[in-house]
Structure 1
Amino acid sequence: MDIGVTVMIHDDTDFAQAFAEARDAGFSHGQVTIFVPGITADEVREIALAAHTAKFHVDAVGCYMNPLRPDEPSPQETTRMDWKTVAENMGMLNGVERIVCWSGTLGKTLGTPNLLNQENSTFNNLYIALSGLFEQVRGLPIQIVLEPYSAHVLSDAASCVRMAKKFPSGALKVVLDAPNILSVKEFTQWDARVEEFVRQVTPAVGLVHLKDVSRGDGGHRVFLPPGQGALDYGRYLRAVAQHAPDVPVILENVRGGDEMRAAREFIESTLKEHGL
């Protein structure tokens, strides 16, 4: 299992330094996630040049707008216009085709529950919204990869697979990010739920994100770097290796070179320990 890492790009990020930091931590590929409101084609070009200079291969680009509220800044401050700019220009990043965004919510924040998200009409509206995104970039080799979340329209394996099947060409896939779909109420069954999710969502998977999760004092999930939470990571990695062996695997929730390096060493030692 060849592990990549997420490189995060903000308004004030030194692009060259960001990729150099990932390389110094032992990574040669991963996802570039862009948090730059009003990003321009020139800025995408500068990011591409920095990645190329660092010899960092881009597996996917993250532009986390909300397809159901596309003109409102998402928690990552990006909108449909930012997504379109990135999608139209990201081919400069070694020809990458995957662009990652949220799986759609009517909630006003990332985690705000909204019962309408589970209505069939909302699912259909998400399909219409995604079809509209493809129409905006018609002719470009784009694969939209949706990141599911427990409070979103795509909140479990069944909804992920159902949406992917509506795009039979394979143009739409989902991120296998098990901690995102876990419920605090299921805390004692988390590891079993992770295995079940990995097994069931496999047909729709276009990318794997690895992070950890724990239950915070306030009864909420807390997302953490791999190995610092409550998951049995050997069990998780075995399920990923068995069911999703052919898609890029990317570390998430790591900030800075030291966290990147520590997470990589943890994953590598866990893989070795379990013969993976």
Structure 2
Amino acid sequence: MNIGVVTRSFPELTNEEAAELIASEGFQSIELCLSQKDSNYWVYNGRSDLSTFTDEQSKRIVDLYRARGLEVPALGVFTNLLELDDDGWQANLDYFERMMQIAAVNEIPFVSTECGFIPGQRGIHVDAYESRFDRLKQALIWLTERAEKYDVTVALESCVLDVVPSAKRTVDLIAQVGSNRLRVLLDPANLIANNTEEEMFHHLSAHVAYFHGKDRHVNDTMGSAVGDGDIDWVKFLQLYQENTPDVPFILEYVTKANFCEIRDRVLAALAGNGRKSPVGDIS
């Protein structure tokens, strides 16, 4: 199983230090975010100024990880594709395109994002749902057209808290965008309140770019580390083996202190020994 970790779990480290640590513990891959001490550009649900960040700098960073045997399947962007201000929305898209350029020059296949949200208005609002869904769709059409140019693919992470809150709505959005340059960053913690483990794979297994490995209680807003929520990991990883073997499974919501422990929980569940959901099947 290709188990990795997001680099933003180690903001206190440089890229060289993070690469050395992750590789030394036997991990296979990373989701690269420009979040380290020597590349602090990552902004959640927004954008940063990349005007001074060169392709050569990005290559040096990526090479630090690859030189230690780590795969780099994804570059994390996670900007706001729902920004209501037109100029701000376009600036977010332009920022995303620059990230595509960085991915392309480094042969990173996936560039990742959530739907985005309006601060203070996260979730589904009946009076705005259709217009915001359409704004997201138009953003993804714009991005996938450019992804074709750069030979990269957008990986979208949907979530119960956002405008695309279920596996079924995610696959419907993919169909409406109509581009093979759009795939899914499947985070089971983001969908467990609306979908069973089986439903996630039923709708999305053909579209998965890679996975985020984290957990969540059904009625919580905050996520947690694998094994600390309501996902049945034995079941989920059995479905993973049956449907998406070897697709990168990249840990999130971990720290330098516990990322190996959480990896070991995943391996135990993969072997059929993990703790099952305390609430049983969710249907």
SS in 2 for 1:213: coil
- Residues 9 and 15 in structure 1, CA contact (< 8 A), matched pair in contact too: no
1:26 partner SS: coil
Alpha-carbon distance in structure 2 between the residues aligned to 1:33 and 1:154: 23
Does the alignment pair 1:66 with 2:65?
Answer: no
Q: Hey, what's the Cα distance between the residues in 2 that align with 1:128 and 1:247?
A: 28
What secondary structure does 1:221 align onto? coil
Matched, 1:179 2:189: yes
Task: Letter of the 1:60 partner, please give it.
Answer: A
Does the C-alpha gap of structure 1 residues 132 and 63 become closer, same or farther in structure 2, counting only changes over 3 Å?
same
Deviates more, 1:59-68 or 1:48-57: 48-57
Residue identity matched to 2:74:
A
Shift in alpha-carbon separation, 1:114–1:252, aligned structure 2, 3 A: same
More deviation, 133-142/262-271: 133-142
Aligned position for 1:142: 152
Cα 1:203/1:72, change in 2 over 3 Å: same
- Distance, in Å, in 1 between the alignment partners of 2:121 and 2:244 is 26
Match of 1:83 in 2: 96
Aligned partners of 1:176 and 1:251: how far apart in 2? 12
Q: What are structure 1's unaligned runs of at least 5 residues?
A: 187-191
Report how many residues are paired.
257
1:97 equivalent in alignment to 2:109:
yes
Change (3 A) 1:57 1:117: farther
Asked if the contact 2:2–2:246 (Cα under 8 Å) also holds between the matched residues in 1, the reply is no
- Give distance in 2, aligned partners of 1:131 and 1:41: 27
Deviation at 1:173, TM superposition (A): 0.8
SS at match of 2:258: helix
Question: Which residue does the alignment assign to 1:29?
Answer: 29
Distance 1:261 1:10 in 2: 13
- Relative to structure 1, the CA distance from residue 211 to residue 110 in structure 2 (aligned partners, 3 Å threshold; closer, same or farther) is farther
In structure 2, relative to structure 1, the CA distance for the partners of 1:248 and 1:128 (3 Å cut) is same
* Conserved? CA contact 2:10–2:18, under 8 Å: no
Identify which range, 262-271 or 9-18, moves more after superposition.
9-18
* Separation in 2, partners of 1:26, 1:227: 20
2:277 alignment counterpart: none
126, 136, 139: which one aligns with 1:115: 126
3-state SS, counterpart of residue 222 of structure 2 = strand
Relative to structure 1, the CA distance from residue 175 to residue 110 in structure 2 (aligned partners, 3 Å threshold; closer, same or farther) is: farther
TM-score w.r.t. the length of structure 2 is 0.78
TM-score (normalised: structure 1): 0.80
Q: State how far apart, in whole Å, the 2-side matches of 1:246 and 1:54 are.
A: 20
Q: Measure how far apart 1:168 and its partner are.
A: 4.3
Q: Distance in 1 between matches of 2:126 and 2:10?
A: 33
Evaluate the alpha carbon distance shift between residue 12 and residue 228 of structure 1 in structure 2; reply closer, same or farther with a 3 A threshold. closer
Q: Secondary structure at the match of 1:146?
A: strand
Q: 1:264 aligns to what?
A: 263
Superposed, which structure 2 residues align to 1:229-240 within 5 Å?
Answer: 229-240=229-240
Task: Tell me the secondary structure at the aligned position of residue 209 of structure 1.
Answer: strand
1:229: how far off? 2.6
Q: In the alignment, which residue of structure 2 is the partner of 1:273? A: 272
- Quote the Cα distance in structure 1 between the aligned partners of 2:246 and 2:261: 24
| SS of residue matched to 1:203 | helix
> For the Cα contact (< 8 Å) 1:87–1:99, is it kept in 2?
yes
The answer on whether the counterparts of 1:23 and 1:56 sit within 8 Å (CA) in structure 2 is yes
2:217 is aligned with 1:207:
no
Cα 1:242–1:116 change in 2 (3 A) is: farther
Which has the larger displacement, 245-254 or 139-148?
Answer: 245-254
Moved more, 146-155 or 220-229: 220-229
Distance 1:88 1:114 in 2: 34
Corresponding residue for residue 38 of structure 1? 49
RMSD over equivalenced CA pairs, Å: 3.0
CA contact (8 A) 1:160 1:204 kept: no
Could you list the per-position Cα deviations for residues 249-269 of structure 1 after superposition, in whole angstroms to 9, with x for gaps in the alignment? 21211111x422111211112
The residue number in structure 2 matching 1:189 is none
Unaligned runs of 5+ in 2: 36-40, 42-47, 275-283
Q: Are residue 130 (structure 1) and residue 145 (structure 2) matched? A: no
Helix, strand or coil at the partner of 1:164: helix
Q: Which amino acid aligns with 1:38?
A: D
Of stretches 219-228 and 23-32 in structure 1, the one that deviates more from structure 2 is 219-228
CA contact (8 A) 1:145 1:172 kept: yes
